[in-house]
Amino acid sequence: MSLTCFVPFLFMSLISVSAARPFYPLPSKISKENRQPIQTSRPYNIAHRGSNGEIPEETAAAYMRAIEEGADFIETDILSSKDGVLICFHDVTLDETTDVTKYKEFANRKRTYEVQGVNTTGFFTVDFTLEELKKLRVKQRYPFRDQQYNGKFPIITFEDFISIALDAPRVVGIYPEIKNPVLINQHVKWPDGKIFEDKFVETLEKYGYRGSYMSKDWLKQPVFVQSFAPTSLVYISNLTDSPKIFLIDDVTIPTQDTNQSYWEITSDDYLDFIKEYVVGIGPWKDTVVPVKDNYLQTPTDLVARAHARDLQVHPYTYRDENLFLHFNFHQDPYLEYDYWLNKIGVDGLYTDFTGSLHKFQEWSSPLPRNGSSDKSNASIVLEKIAWLISSYKNA
């Protein structure tokens, strides 16, 4: 089935039967032979929680839309239900992006727990079974984004997410995060003394995710495992050789497990330590290039120091709306992409708008196509010249 047929069909299937599981089996039984391989010649297009600029985050529809739009990797946050099922959901509480408050039977589930040193009150995923979570419907996080899909899609499991990637018409990588492991391990218990990180890796291995970066196994089923918790990354290094990314939060936020400051974890000594366990870092972009009064300041040397240690750099998060664009980019997300990819020189971008990043990369650094004619190559060159002239005029 072609990509243009695959996604709309699957998307409409989800809308019409949103309460049910996706129709495809687990594990995937779609043939994986002769699929287009993942590209590795230009920075990665990482679909942040799916194409969530268009469709509510972490839903099957958002991930399928991202695949349709050209994502290299679909990114997700892994939490757990009360009964130990791993789910795709960003917040530890359900309040902001689901309709949990409309269910009277759940009114007494509100709790207050300490999350990363802060007392947080809400409806926590760890207090709901998977069956209960499946009753809820997801909604857009931001009110200025398209609201038409609110209430149409359920929370999906980690296994559902994996099957979407495996069933894609081309090779699409996954980029799951071990989310809030301290909280999860405090509130969810598994048999045989297993912990959250164990279950996470077991799920990856169940579906064939293994192998070091760029190995034959990895290229068949690409994966980056990410976490803000360095102890989790060190722990799973003894369980899997899949490549790992150390996420770095804002300068004001210490690590959730080791309580280390931003300055400690971006020091040369710490980068020398963590490079033994990870292949890259994922920093908040405004820490790589500081911002004042919504204008970019002088870039730090974090990217250069990471690259000197053979660490990739995948900053987050790139969003097309003017609200998120710094004044330097004149309300043009393409100028932001150009700045980060070609001036700062990062190796991948987390974006809410997979389609716009893909189009930018296809215009500015198109992938080689088998059988390309001289005419089509000439057209690509002319498009690049036109884009460069336009960028110069807008600078």
SS3 of 247, please?
A: strand
| Mean model confidence pLDDT for the chain | 91
Cβ-Cβ contacts under 8 Å for 352 (sequence gap 6 or more): 48, 49, 51, 52, 53, 317, 318, 319, 320
pTM of the model: 0.89
The pLDDT confidence band at residue 34, using thresholds 50, 70 and 90, is confident
The pLDDT tens digits of the residues spanning 224-243 come to: 999 999 999 999 999 999 99
Express as a percent the part of the chain with pLDDT over 70. Answer: 85
Single out the residue of 266, 270, 330 nearest to residue 300, CA to CA. Answer: 266
323 has a pLDDT exceeding 60: yes
329 has a pLDDT exceeding 90: yes
pLDDT at 368: 84
Mean pLDDT of all residues in 162-187: 98
**Contact criterion met (CB below 8 Å) for 53 and 69:** no
pLDDT at 379: 56
Distance CA 44, CA 212 (A): 17
Distance CA 110, CA 269 (A): 42
Per-residue tokens: 295:
């204008």
* Long-range CB pairs of 15-22, under 8 A, 24+ apart, other chains included: 15/61, 15/152, 15/153, 18/137, 18/152, 18/153, 18/154, 19/134, 19/154, 21/160, 22/60, 22/160, 22/163, 22/164
Distance CA 159, CA 294 (A): 40
Per-residue tokens: 189:
């218990």
Beta strands in 72-145 (DSSP E): 73-80, 86-88, 111-115, 118-122
pLDDT at 385: 62
pLDDT at 378: 57
pLDDT at 283: 98
Tell which wins on pLDDT, 380 or 47.
47
With tokens 């990410």, the residue in question is 226
Single out the residue of 320, 333, 355, 346 nearest to residue 50, CA to CA. Answer: 355
Per-residue tokens: 253:
């936020």
Mean pLDDT of all residues in 303-319: 98
Q: Lowest-confidence range among 11-15, 99-103, 158-162, 381-385? A: 11-15
SS3 of 112, please?
A: strand
Single out the residue of 57, 194, 187 nearest to residue 125, CA to CA. Answer: 187
Mean pLDDT of all residues in 335-364: 98
The pLDDT tens digits of the residues spanning 243-252 come to: 999 999 999 9
The pLDDT tens digits of the residues spanning 126-159 come to: 999 999 999 999 999 999 999 999 999 999 999 9
Q: Lowest-confidence range among 18-22, 206-210, 391-395? A: 18-22
Cβ-Cβ contacts under 8 Å for 316 (sequence gap 6 or more): 48, 247, 282, 283, 284, 285, 349, 350
13 has a pLDDT exceeding 60: no
